[in-house]
A and B are shown apart, each in its own frame.
Chain A
Amino acid sequence: TQLLEQSPQFLSIQEGENLTVYCNSSSVFSSLQWYRQEPGEGPVLLVTVVTGGEVKKLKRLTFQFGDARKDSSLHITAAQPGDTGLYLCVIKSGGSNYKLTFGKGTLLTVNP
């Protein structure tokens, strides 16, 4: 069973600070997605990364895919209260085209 570990599990910071959260897999994956889930809502896709070493930017969010295709990171610059939420990394489950494996998420709170 392929495992996804996310760290830290919880993160509480002040507005304006920078932060990085991590996602690590027990085995190589072909692609990885990051979703954000706000309280009382379903997850919403932020980005999909498919190439080892790939870096994608979405405004103040920078996503990196490790060269070995076993890890990914999300860096937020100058965090804002609107960034508050649960950040989930997701990969295809090994051996299946239809199943996803979710990490347990990093719960981020940005205080004004």
Chain B
Amino acid sequence: NAGVTQTPKFQVLKTGQSMTLQCAQDMNHEYMSWYRQDPGMGLRLIHYSVGAGITDQGEVPNGYNVSRSTTEDFPLRLLSAAPSQTSVYFCASSASPPGTTEAFFGQGTRLTVV
């Protein structure tokens, strides 16, 4: 079982570059989310989706875009990378609204912006 797959696992960007972090799940989950994890800050929600075609902002959405054209995929786009976006990014999916059901996380993408 693949579960939630994130690519790439590591990435170095120069300030101002753009890139897309990929996230795919094979569990037919409606709910998907993107988080960033920074030392001393815990996981913070960037964007989330409650189904194909439906996305909304989380706690720290500035500088990021998302789209959800299919149930399986939920890419996160960095528009113009900044050093403040250096972080570990996690994608998660769940069958029901998160909090009372299990959220499945990918292995993360470690992004460094120089």
Contacts of B31 in A (CB 8 A): 98
Q: Which of B45, B100, B105 contacts A44 (CB 8 A)?
A: B105
Taking A103-B42, A104-B41, A104-B42 as contacts, is the C-beta distance between A98 and B98 under 8 angstroms? yes
- B contact residues vs A (CB 8 Å cutoff): 4, 31, 33, 35, 40-45, 48, 50, 56, 58-59, 90, 92, 97-103, 105-108
Which residue of A42, A44, A45, A91 contacts B108 across the interface (Cβ within 8 Å)? A42
Minimum C-beta distance from A44 to chain B (A): 7
Q: What's the dominant secondary structure at chain B's contact region? A: strand
Q: Are A105 and B105 touching (Cβ within 8 A)? A: no
Question: Could you list some 27 contacts between A and B, CB below 8 A?
Answer: A30-B100, A31-B99, A33-B99, A41-B107, A41-B108, A42-B4, A42-B90, A42-B108, A43-B103, A43-B105, A45-B102, A48-B100, A48-B102, A50-B100, A88-B42, A88-B43, A91-B99, A98-B31, A98-B48, A98-B97, A99-B58, A99-B98, A102-B35, A102-B43, A103-B42, A104-B41, A105-B42
Starting from the known contacts A98-B56, A104-B41, A104-B42, 7 additional A-B residue pairs (CB-CB under 8 Å) come to A33-B99, A42-B4, A43-B90, A97-B99, A98-B48, A99-B98, A100-B98
Q: Is the CB of B42 within 8 A of A102?
A: yes
Tell me whether A99 and B107 are in contact (CB under 8 A): no
Is A95's CB within 8 Å of the partner chain B? no
Chain A CB within 10 A, most for which of B44, B45, B48:
B45
A residues contacting B by CB (< 8 A) are: 30-31, 33, 40-45, 48, 50, 88, 90-92, 97-100, 102-105
Kindly list chain A residues whose C-beta atoms are within 8 Å of the C-beta of B105.
42-44
The answer to whether B106 touches A42 (Cβ under 8 A) is yes
**B42, B59, B101 — which one has the most chain A CB atoms within 10 A of its CB?**
B42
